[in-house]
Structure 1
Amino acid sequence: MGFFKKPTLKVSDDKRTKAAELTLRESIYPLCLVTILFFLWGFSYGLIDTLNKHFQETLGITRSRSSGLQAAYFGAYPLASLGHANWILRHYGYKMVFIWGLFLYGVGSLIAWPCLLHRSFGGFCVAIFIIGNGLGSLETAANPYLTVCGPPKYSEIRINVAQAFNGIGTVVAPVLGSYVFFKNTGVDESALKNVQWTYLAIAIFVFLLAIVFAFSPIPEITDADMAFQAEETHAGTDQKPFRKQYRLFHAAFAQFCYTGAQVAIAGAFINYATETRPNTDSPKAARFLAGAQGVFALGRFIGSFIMNYVRPRWVFLCFMTMCIVFIAPSITQRGNTGMSMLYVTLFFESIIFPTIVALGMRGLGKYSKRGSGFIVGGVVGGAIVPPLLFVASDQQGEADLATGKAPTALAMVVPLCFFVAAWTYALAVNFVPRYRDVADKFSTAEVGLTGHTHADEESAASGGVVEGTGKDGLQMEERRETVR
């Protein structure tokens, strides 16, 4: 397989390719390339959490107004996942969405430069909105791509390992914020200059990465491929109309609630630490946030390891339950005890997002691309829940360490409520047969573990279409007619 090839940016969705039956070895290169994207948006997300508190101090804005960063960032996701990115995905395929998302990410990063130079919070929110559209586009394609590129049996493990690199990105950003950007909070001009150079570097890197994607021979995955996988695992639900894919809509609801809670906790972490822990300023709190994000990334590696031996749905239920158990004490506890509760909560948050994606997409067949837009669109919760938390915090006035008054700590009741709502999906996927049976059939699937069942190399080289003969050929034609 050569590295540089003439780029192919459009694939017919009604024709099956070899991608439906990729083995572990064949899926390594495209998965590694896509995993780089997870680090990029993890870094961007972590940087926003750090900038949130810094803008409160340097620009003199309220906690609720600073949450406009999260609102701009995550508010862009449904516009991408249900709009332009999903349209490109259904008409041109995954590779084109990767390139489009990287282009928007680069443009937004370039726009951020003059906004930071002129200390324009509103302008920076616009830049973040464009970046959010780019990252929303990447997530619309990358998350479902990881779930379907390779043996279905290991879809949760693949996406959780890749998401672990997202966690690493969220660690690196607060560390930079603490030791490079905001070491001396009084020198805000210097700090913002450092940030603007970072966004310039990001723009250059993502534009180069877009070129790499354009010329890389990553396999395209069509709706017909997804219909084939669903049929082979005997777990397909794509015979029903899209409006009756209730499991999908429940997964999207859970994603909305969970992501909102996760983003609210991370966005308020620095405020929480400075309000509840004595002798803790913003740079020190940013270092604590980096440690918490490190625990988050570690949780994804550990969760992925556990999924080798325990059904992913059980791991999902356990981790989701522990999020509720440990966020509750952070509301009333203070100092190191309260902050340790947030650390443990972030550990158990680790596998929730990618596992909802993987479980929610199982059995969607020819609706996979369309369905991924709804699940990723659930990320808009990150634009809604953080402002609710900060408004609840602002209404309680200023913090007072002497009396133990900590508005941000009390406002943690907001993400707790949304965790409970997301928990309903974890319960359903374990105890409701219509949910559980689909999940279990994919966990025992042999597709991709024993090689291709239709390995026509010439056909794949000429157009990527895998033809069958005899009985297999007739079955293929029937599948194609179903997809059409």
Structure 2
Amino acid sequence: MPIFKRHSLRAGNNRTRAAELTLRDSIFPLCLVTILFFLWGFSYGLIDTLNKHFQEVLNITRSRSSGLQAAYFGAYPLASLGHANWILRHFGYKACFIWGLCLYGVGSLIAWPALVYRSFGGFCVAIFITGNGLGSLETAANPYLTVCGPPKYSEIRINIAQAFNGIGTVIAPVLGSYVFFNNVDDKNPSLKNVQWTYLAIAIFVFILAFVFYVTPIPEITDADMAFQAEETHAGTDVKPFWKQYRLFHAAAAQFCYTGAQVAIAGAFINYVVDTREGTSSATAARFLSGAQGAFALGRFVGSFLMNYVRPRWVFLAFMTCCIIFISPSITQRGNTGMSMLYVTLFFESIIFPTIVALGMRGLGKFSKRGSGFIIAGVAGGAVVPPILFAAADSQGLADYATGHAPTAIAMSVPLAFFLAAWTYTLAVNFVPAYRIVVDKFHTTEIGVVNTHQDEESGSGEIGKSEAPVQTNDVNATPKLA
């Protein structure tokens, strides 16, 4: 039986048909990888909900509880620039997926004793390991969705997949509101329900790792990406890696944007409790679920718009609206302020995946290495939330009579980081060196029309009738013999 045959996790570097997969050829592997997006959306949503839960159960400050975000997102650069990126470049996407799922499962298992003994520090360690696993998955999955299929649709593919990430972030706060916050004994608060949640996660991800091991998926090599860059005449991989300034600008924008997004979601429950008198944490968690629903909806809407409008213009409109609508949340209170955060989350929806897709344009043989830098920008989620919570703590307690709301005032922190990320949006749309590369990939017909006469499979190597690719060095420019 095929399921019991020997499976190799080492991928070669010859050019394959994966560089020219059609929409039909790419559907199955994309659906499988999309499951991963739901997983880390669910995990991310749990972190936002547990942030407030730990404040109440363990009686810790807002700034200390932000250690969850610091541990979770601080692990990302270690994965995306370190172990995960090394596995991706030397073994391929499939091996990186399995590695990330195993780390995710181990972290979830370690969370069990930490929760039993009510150790916040121990749970942060477990979350750090989980973050390494999810960072590994993002290091592989985001660029895989970008390159698996016709290049002109990459922004649409990654945004649709990321919409399932949004669905995960919707379900997690609902689970938290009914499981974590309800039926809590004030005299002896328990974390038992959280324990069972993480045990279930561990079992599921280990099963999913096995599914990835036995399932064949197309491997997109550096040679494939170099071919795409050459065919579109937009490749910048003739320059040394350290001169890929567009990549590093994208990574910086990712750092600023992700930090702002995570800070807003992590402080959402505190914001609602501070600004709506009489609102419990459980009710605020349900409001967070609604806000994450707006976030998921925004990804579907953004993906739809990208069918008719250039993705970079949709990117500009959504990023600008994030800045416009986060601003009133600083001064407004009650339902008005909360509604501004709802609208902000709607427009945040496409920013992260679109930065990934646009930032990887033209990298060619540097695509796998470059994706690690863009995903490392997620580390902003470890930096900005502690700044926001420290700013909120410095403002004292909320006073409904005077309208003093510490968390609302602290929303000026993500606003500043949104403005910094906006510079990349402007560059992609108005700086020719950025815009031309993006547009050439958007108009290419690779994967849309047949580029070869033969009908070989999309995941196999190029046929014997074609010249092989000379790739003695993984970082060398592929040349046809």
- The TM-score, its normalising length taken from structure 1, stands at 0.95
Aligned to 2:147: 148
Letter in 2 for 1:158: R
Secondary structure of 1:482's partner?
coil
The answer to whether the 8 A contact 1:260-1:381 is kept is yes
Letter in 2 for 1:465: E
CA displacement, residues 320-376 of structure 1 (integer Å, 9 cap, x when unaligned):
000000000000000000000000000000000000000000110000000000000
Query: What aligned pairs does 1:239-254 form with structure 2 within 5 A after superposition?
Result: 239-254=238-253
User: How far did residue 456 of structure 1 move?
Assistant: 6.8
Asked if 1:237 corresponds to 2:236, the answer is yes
Q: Map 1:414-429 to 2 at 5 A.
A: 414-429=413-428
Distance in 1 of aligned mates of 2:101 and 2:371: 19
Map 1:181-260 → 2, pairs under 5 A: 181-186=180-185, 192-260=191-259
Letter in 1 for 2:212: F
Q: For residues 302 and 185 of structure 1, what CA distance do their matches in structure 2 show?
A: 38
Q: Is 1:432 the counterpart of 2:399 in the alignment?
A: no
| 1:477 shift after superposition | 4.9
Equivalent residues of 2:163, 2:300 under 8 A apart = yes
Aligned twin of 1:465: 461
Cα distance change, pair 390–454 in 1 and its aligned pair in 2 (3 A): farther
The 2-side partners of 1:185 and 1:294 are apart by: 26
Instruction: Tell me the amino acid that sits aligned with residue 72 of structure 1.
Output: A
Amino acid at match of 1:218: I
How far the C-alpha of 1:170 sits from its partner, in A, is 0.3
One-letter amino acid of the structure 2 residue matched with residue 217 of structure 1: P
Q: Deviations over 1:269-308 (max 9, x none)?
A: 0000000012101000000000000000000000000000
**1:399 paired residue number:** 398
Equivalent residue, structure 1, for 2:177: 178
Q: What are the Cα deviations for residues 181-229 of structure 1, in whole angstroms up to 9, with x where unaligned?
A: 2113435867511111010000000000000000101011100000011
- Describe the SS at the equivalent of 1:278: coil
Deviations 1:389-446 (A, max 9, x none): 0001111111111111101000000000000000000000000001000110111110
Corresponding residue number in structure 2 for 1:58: 57
Percent identity over paired residues: 78
CA distance in 2, matches of 1:328, 1:188: 40
Secondary structure at the aligned position of 2:467 is classed as: helix
Task: Say whether the 8 Å CA contact 1:20–1:229 is kept in structure 2.
Answer: yes
Is contact 1:227-1:479 (8 Å) kept?
no
Q: Distance in 2 between matches of 1:300 and 1:18?
A: 30
1:483 aligned residue? 478
- Count of residue pairs brought into register by the alignment: 477
In 2, the alpha carbon distance for the partners of 1:439 and 1:237 equals: 12
Quote the residue 2:358 is aligned against. 359
8 Å CA contact retained: 2:57, 2:190: no
- Are 2:4 and 1:10 aligned? no
Cα separation, 2, equivalents of 1:451 and 1:114 = 55
What amino acid is the match of 2:418? F
C-alpha distance 188-445 of structure 1, shift in aligned 2 (>3 A)? farther
Indicate the residue corresponding to 1:370 in structure 2.
369
Cα pair distance change 1:246/1:218, threshold 3 Å: same
SS of residue in 2 equivalent to 1:308: coil
State the alpha-carbon separation in 1 of the partners of residues 76 and 42 from structure 2: 17
Residue identity opposite 1:149 in structure 2? C
Taking a change above 3 Å as real, the CA distance of residues 3 and 148 of structure 1, as seen in their structure-2 partners, is farther
Distance 1:188 1:347, change over 3 A: farther
Q: Secondary structure of the equivalent of 1:403? A: coil
> Are 2:53 and 2:180, in contact at CA under 8 Å, matched by a contact in 1?
no
Q: Do the aligned partners of 2:232 and 2:444 also contact (CA within 8 Å) in 1?
A: yes
Q: Distance in 2 between matches of 1:356 and 1:188?
A: 47
Structure 1 counterpart of 2:7, one-letter code? P
- In 2, Cα distance between the equivalents of 1:95 and 1:164? 22
- Give 1:50 deviation, angstroms: 0.3
How far apart are the structure 2 equivalents of 1:220 and 1:452?
19
Distance 1:331 1:5 in 2: 59
User: Aligned-residue CA RMSD in angstroms?
Assistant: 1.9
Aligned pair in 2 of structure 1 residues 449, 373: CA closer, same or farther (>3 Å)?
same
Q: Distance in 2 between matches of 1:275 and 1:149?
A: 45
**1:58, distance to aligned residue in structure 2 (A):** 1.0
Name the counterpart of 1:20: 19
Rounded to whole Å, the distance in 2 between the matches of 1:263 and 1:467 is 47
Q: Hey, what's the Cα distance between the residues in 1 that align with 2:187 and 2:335?
A: 29
Q: Is the 8 A contact 1:22 1:452 kept in 2?
A: no
Instruction: Encode CA deviations 1:239-282: one digit per residue, 9 max, x unaligned.
Output: 11001101000000000000000000000000000000121010
Per-residue CA distance 1:119-167 (angstroms, 9 max, x = gap) = 1000000000000000000000000000000000100000000000000
Separation in 2, partners of 1:105, 1:223: 27
- 2:76 — aligned with what? 77
Indicate conservation of the 8 Å contact 1:4/1:217, yes or no: no
Q: 1:105 — aligned with what?
A: 104
Preserved contact between residue 88 and residue 97 of structure 1 (Cα < 8 Å) = yes
Letter in 2 for 1:200: L
Counterpart-to-counterpart distance in 1, 2:63 and 2:179:
26
Unaligned runs of 5+ in 1: none
Measured in 2, the distance between the counterparts of 1:273 and 1:135 equals: 29
Q: Which amino acid aligns with 2:50?
A: L
- Unpaired runs of 5+ residues, structure 2, are none
Per the TM alignment, residue 468 of structure 1 is displaced from its structure 2 partner at its CA by 5.7
SS at match of 2:142: helix
Quick one: distance in 2 between partners of 1:368 and 1:37? Answer: 20
In structure 2, distance between residues paired with 1:451 and 1:291:
44
Where do residues 261-410 of structure 1 align in structure 2 (5 Å cutoff)?
261-410=260-409
- The answer to whether the 8 A contact 2:174-2:285 is kept is yes
